[in-house]
C-alpha cells in the first residue's frame, strides 16, 4: 500500500509523532540530566494506563471468557509493538503452563523481524489479512492489535480480517480515534503524549503496551485458575530456579517440610498442583491427577475450598 499525501499529513498530527519542546535540548544534556528527564517522562505512563482501565477491564473479561471456552489469545504487531507481543506471549508457557499455540504473537515480517529491522513489513496489508487466515482465527479467539500510532496497515488489516472471521478484537494504541480502534470491538487508548525523542515509540508507548499486555496475560491466567493465591502453580519447573520455586510453593501451600515437598513433587512429575493435592488429601499421584481433571485443573476446587 503506497502512502498518500493525506496519510503523511495525518501521521504528523498523531500525539506520538509530535516533537515536545520540553525535550528540545536533550542533545545538550549531561548523562545525569538525560536520565532524570527520561525517568520523569516515564513516570507518567502508569497514570495514563490507569485512566484507560475502564477500557481495559471489559476487554480482559471478554478475552477470559473465550479462553475458558477453549479459545486462544493472539497478539499482532509490527516493529517494537510486535516484539513486545512476542515477549509477553513467550513467557506464558513456562509461567502458566499454557501450550505455545494457546497464546502467541503474529509479527509483521515474521521471525526475521524479531532481531532485525524489517520496517517495510508494517505496510503490507495483504500479509496482515493473510496471517489471520493462516492462524485459523475463529469465533473463540481474541486478537489484540498493537500499534502506538493506531494506523499500522499490517495490524489494521489483520484486525479487520480477524473480526470478519468472528474473533473478539482489541485495539491497543497510544492515540485516539485511529483506524485500528475503528476496526476493533474493544479499543484501549493509552495517551502517553510525545516521546523524549520525537516519534520513538519504543519509549513511553512501548512501556504502556507492556503494562497492558502484562494485565491481559496475567489476569486471564488468574481467571483460568493458573494461579492459587498469588502462586504460579502451573509453572513448568524446567530449571534449577523453577524447581526450587516449586518446592517453596508446595511448602507454603501445604505447610509440609522441605523433604516431603520434594518427595511429593518428584512423585508427581514436578506438578505443583498435583503435589499439593497429593499431600493435602493423602492421595497417590494418579488419584491426585484424576481429581484435578475432574475439577477442570482448578486447585482450589480440587482441595474442596470455596473461592
**Which residues belong to the active site?**
91, 122
SS (H, E, C) 151-212: CCHHHHHHHHHHHHCCCEEEEEECCCCCHHHHHCCEEEECCCCCCCCCCCCCCHHHHHHHHH
Q: Using alpha carbons only, give the angle 175, 177, 180 rounded to the nearest 5 degrees.
A: 80
Question: Which of 140, 129, 116, 122 is closest to 62 using CA atoms?
Answer: 140
Joined grid coordinates for residue 66: 473465550
Pairwise CA distance, residues 188 & 146, whole Å? 10
Q: How far is CA 234 from CA 89, 149, 211, 273, in A?
A: 16, 36, 22, 7
CB-CB contact of 193 with 204 (8 Å): yes
Question: Which of 130, 177, 178 is closest to 152 using CA atoms?
Answer: 178
Amino acid at each position: 500500500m503506497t502512502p498518500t499525501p493525506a496519510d503523511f499529513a495525518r501521521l504528523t498530527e498523531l500525539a506520538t509523532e509530535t516533537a515536545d519542546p520540553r525535550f528540545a535540548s536533550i542533545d545538550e544534556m549531561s548523562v545525569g540530566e538525560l536520565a532524570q528527564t527520561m525517568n520523569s517522562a516515564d513516570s507518567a505512563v502508569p497514570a495514563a494506563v490507569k485512566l484507560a482501565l475502564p477500557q481495559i477491564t471489559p476487554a480482559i473479561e471478554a478475552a477470559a471468557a473465550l479462553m475458558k471456552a477453549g479459545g486462544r489469545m493472539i497478539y499482532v504487531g509490527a516493529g517494537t509493538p510486535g516484539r513486545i507481543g512476542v515477549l509477553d506471549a513467550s513467557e506464558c508457557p513456562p509461567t502458566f503452563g499454557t501450550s505455545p499455540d494457546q497464546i502467541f504473537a503474529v509479527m509483521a515480517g515474521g521471525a526475521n523481524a524479531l532481531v532485525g529491522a524489517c520496517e517495510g513489513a508494517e505496510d503490507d496489508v495483504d500479509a496482515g489479512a493473510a496471517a489471520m487466515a493462516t492462524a485459523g482465527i475463529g469465533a473463540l479467539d481474541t486478537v489484540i492489535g498493537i500499534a502506538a500510532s493506531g494506523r499500522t496497515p499490517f495490524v489494521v488489516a489483520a484486525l479487520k480480517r480477524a473480526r470478519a472471521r468472528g474473533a473478539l478484537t482489541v485495539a491497543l494504541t497510544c492515540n485516539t480515534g485511529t483506524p485500528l480502534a475503528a476496526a476493533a470491538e474493544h479499543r484501549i487508548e493509552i495517551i502517553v503524549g510525545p516521546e523524549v525523542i520525537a516519534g520513538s515509540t519504543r519509549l513511553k508507548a512501548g512501556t504502556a503496551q507492556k503494562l497492558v499486555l502484562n494485565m491481559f496475560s496475567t489476569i486471564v491466567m488468574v481467571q483460568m485458575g493458573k494461579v492459587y493465591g498469588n502462586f504460579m502453580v502451573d509453572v513448568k519447573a524446567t530449571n534449577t530456579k523453577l524447581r526450587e520455586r516449586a518446592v517453596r510453593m508446595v511448602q507454603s501451600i501445604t505447610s509440609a517440610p522441605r523433604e516431603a515437598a520434594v518427595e511429593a513433587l518428584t512423585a508427581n512429575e514436578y506438578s505443583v498442583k498435583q503435589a499439593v493435592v497429593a499431600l493435602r488429601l493423602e492421595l497417590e499421584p494418579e488419584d491426585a491427577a484424576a481429581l484435578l481433571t475432574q475439577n477442570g485443573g482448578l486447585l482450589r476446587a480440587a482441595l474442596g475450598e470455596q473461592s
